[in-house]
Amino acid sequence: MTRPIPIDFAEPDLDTLAGTAGRMAVVATSDGKLDPVARRLNRMTKGAVARAVEAEAWGKLGAGEAVVLNYPAGLEVDGLAIVKLDRRADAATARKAGASIAKFAGGKALTVCVAGTQRIADLALGLVLRTYAFEDRKTGEKTEPQGAKILCAKPDEAREAAATVAAMAEGVFFTRDLVSEPANVLTTTEFAARLTALKDLGLKIKVLEEADMEKLGMGALLGVGQGSESPSKIVVMEWMGGTKGDAPLALVGKGVVFDTGGISLKPAAGMEDMTMDMGGAGTVAGVMKALALRKAKANVVGLVGLVENMPDARAQRPGDVVTSMKGDTIEVINTDAEGRLVLADVLWYAQETYAPAGIVDLATLTGAIIIGLGHENAGVFSNDDTFANAFLKAAKTEGEGAWRMPLGAAYDKMLKSNIADMKNVGGRPAGSITAAQFLQRFVKDGVPWIHLDIAGVASVKSDTAMAPKGATGWGVLALDRLVRDGYEG
């Protein structure tokens, strides 16, 4: 398990700055103004800090970015980063500044000097998130990032604010670890065990086994996993920290621990990436962990469908017809469109069991969403404008890219089947939209619902502002913000 680095807070001791080892960062405003600590460091370095912020390069620097002085004279540190951050910077910029500092630190002991009022908690969150490295499967020497000390005017207040930061970082790291694990480690059984362990944080955990799902009539979900040795499961995580009796928000995640495509086998090239096809379930798990750690005053239930999609003599075939828990029949045209079959039954179960105030489902569902939105935004589909706008606002606040996509009855004709109530695919045109239209059939009238297609943002091939390449933990911050703003009293 990857744990966030520890961060300590203290008042600046200007007399000891010169002897501080490791690496150091200080902030300056976009117009080059230095706070008292930066001015002291400027004197120690014989004006090097002032020269850096007066140079033409400073003006071209983006907000939250840094210039670095290597082995500055007058200091013991082997590097001093000067970060551009205004006092009224928004949260996203402060986090970017923290991430810039983390990249500069490179795992070495770090001292950050922020004498002003720049969003210290957000800076700390960006710093922590960018230090993530998944090394659980390596046997050689591992990176062990040192902790950081943040020197600020009101350390006690900063420390209190950082308690929430710690909860969010734990949630994001949990998601990233799950998405990063190989499929031979993170089987459906292991995944369920890791989620069951969250009961130690106060979550109520329930696991539905295949026999339970058979009794409930979950033929859509069970059909996906019938070719695998790993048993299909549904894990339910309840956090009831709000008013007793209030309907919860339901978060539903696709948890395909590995997706070969089944009988509709995927090409070999790139199939190794399908360990991340449980990204929706990973995000739900991270959100639930964060809510429990920060003792959220809201009622939220997380439900994840855990399956493995494998080719086998017992595997589901193209042309099979399965019956969902709702009772609708589905002609399986392509066994590689399996995530929607999993979600269909979990969505219906969530509504039958909890009568939620709203539902958000997350899934690495379609390659089509990557063609449309790339790796910058998740696709947002919804039957409720108010609910969708609340999520989009939360995502923007937290700096997680999201873009509203259309739904419409005209797309339903693409899902018509000659032998069943519907097909599971509608062809290549509008592939992400027809997938969402399919899911909408399993949402009851009057239930606010959002479908998030996160295929392009759950795991990426290059570094992002807040994470190294690989699992991003996208959605944990945005969904936590949605809960804060809309469901906590």
Catalytic (active-site) positions: 266, 340
DSSP string, 314-376: TS--TT-EEE-TTS-EEE-S-TT--HHHHHHHHHHHHHHHH--SEEEEEE---THHHHHHTTT
SS3 call for 240: strand
CA distance 471 to 370: 16
Task: Residue 352: count other Cβ atoms within 10 Å of its Cβ.
Answer: 12
Task: Residue 453: count other Cβ atoms within 10 Å of its Cβ.
Answer: 32
Q: Which residue has the tokens 């600590």?
A: 37
Spell out the alpha helix ranges (H) of 55-154.
56-60, 91-105, 120-130
CA distance 32 to 201: 45
Indicate the DSSP class of residue 290: H
Residues 6+ apart with CB under 8 A from 49: 26, 28, 34, 38, 41, 42, 69, 80, 82
CA-based nearest residue to 393, from 288, 477, 298: 477
Indicate the DSSP class of residue 22: S
Q: What tokens does 33 get? A: 């103004």
Residue 159 CA: distances (Å) to CA of 2, 91, 127: 22, 17, 15
SS3 call for 451: strand
CA distance 125 to 143: 20
CA distance 253 to 283: 7
